[in-house]
Amino acid sequence: MLKAEITKLTVSDVRFPTSLEQHGSDAMHTDPDYSVAYVVLDTDTSLKGYGLTFTVGRGTEIVVCAVEALSSLVIGKTLEEIVIDFRGFYRLLTNDGQMRWIGPEKGVIQLATAAILNAIWDMWARAEGKPLWKLLVDMDPRQLIRCIDFTYITDELTEQEALDILEKANKGKQEREDQMRKEGYPAYTTSCAWLGYSDEQLTQLCSAALDEGWTRFKVKVGADLQDDIRRCRLIRNMIGPENTLMIDANQRWDVSEAISWVSTLAEFRPLWIEEPTSPDDILGHAAISKALAPLGIGVATGEQCHNRVMFKQFLQASALQFVQIDSCRVGSVNENLAIILMAAKFKVPVCPHAGGVGLCELVHHLILFDYISVSASLDNRMCEYVDHLHEHFKSPTVIRNAHYIPPKDPGFSCEMLESSVQKHQFPRGEVWRRILGQKHSPII
């Protein structure tokens, strides 16, 4: 199946009207419609690849255009020639002599790159008959290294250092894989406390989550301090002192405001403050980290970090205590491998960003790989889970006892139900024709 030639790339703008019920609402994204640019790669055989990148509504059409602009670099290649020189193919997509001007390796063009590469990885895992996490875990360390572009990061992570990290983790690898199959990877929930939820909703959802066995909870903050105090007190009182609380401001504050605001919320003992300021402000995050350290509060960020170079600088500056990789923001598995290995070198735990559409499905492949083949640690490590929109996927995420259960189906868990894609295509799908036809629709 590796000989399969890619003959067609199709990309769709698929949106879900989550803003109607305030799902996903936070201090900066008050009315998100969770969406994807959804890629399907056809070949001259029965083999296909499915990939996506996540957005929050308007602008998805721009990502679709970027995917289409990159498609000529993909069509006509065989899976074999891509994976034999995956580093070279990654550079081909990210360093086109003209299109890199609208990046390079950031923004819309990198989101489009992620969608295409996610589809390639899905196709490769399908060709090998393995879920992606297992493909990565079984791969020879030298082959893994050849998938990574080390450009601009060798001052902190060389190929040899990466190889040493992987080879060191070989000890106990099978035992960790067996453990994950039996127990799963620890998760935390963000589903209870979106900023747009009423106290009644928050109480009901938090109570249900406790009944289901959840012990780690994240609360959205940042719009109003007194409101945050009330909501954090409500959640902390419900979950008790023994369970874990995190807070997330979604880039709301300036640096000094972040320090002051979070210091006020310190009484609720959050493990971390997530995205306290601009995702590009590395030194600002470092200042916040230094100021909050005496309070025992770490800084988590990364879901809107453009690439491995920025992650390198965050780590160099001690600007984050929790690395939040994202399966669709950076350059897919290839770039996330580099970030995971750098985090291991700096001994900073990886706690992925998830939720949205498909992010849970994708990212838990990566965190399973991190535990089994890289970090060999669960200390202060967990993966985000949001209980939205999983029903639209062929191989939806499985949660048991607040743990991600390793996927068994071959691929990267990217494939969506065709009926869901058709109904939610924007703007001509059945769902959007109905919504946009309503004169007073809040979407418009």
Is residue 220 annotated as a catalytic residue, yes or no?
Answer: yes
Asked if 249 and 222 touch (Cβ cutoff 8 Å), the reply is yes
Paired tokens of 270: 């959050």
Catalytic residue among 23, 130, 353, 388: 353
Q: Closest Cα partner for 6 from 70, 53, 76?
A: 76
Q: How far is CA 208 from CA 62, 130, 188, 405, in A?
A: 39, 34, 14, 20
Catalytic residue among 134, 220, 306, 365: 220
State the Cα angle at 189 between 186 and 190, rounded to 5°.
Answer: 145
Residues annotated as catalytic are: 220, 353
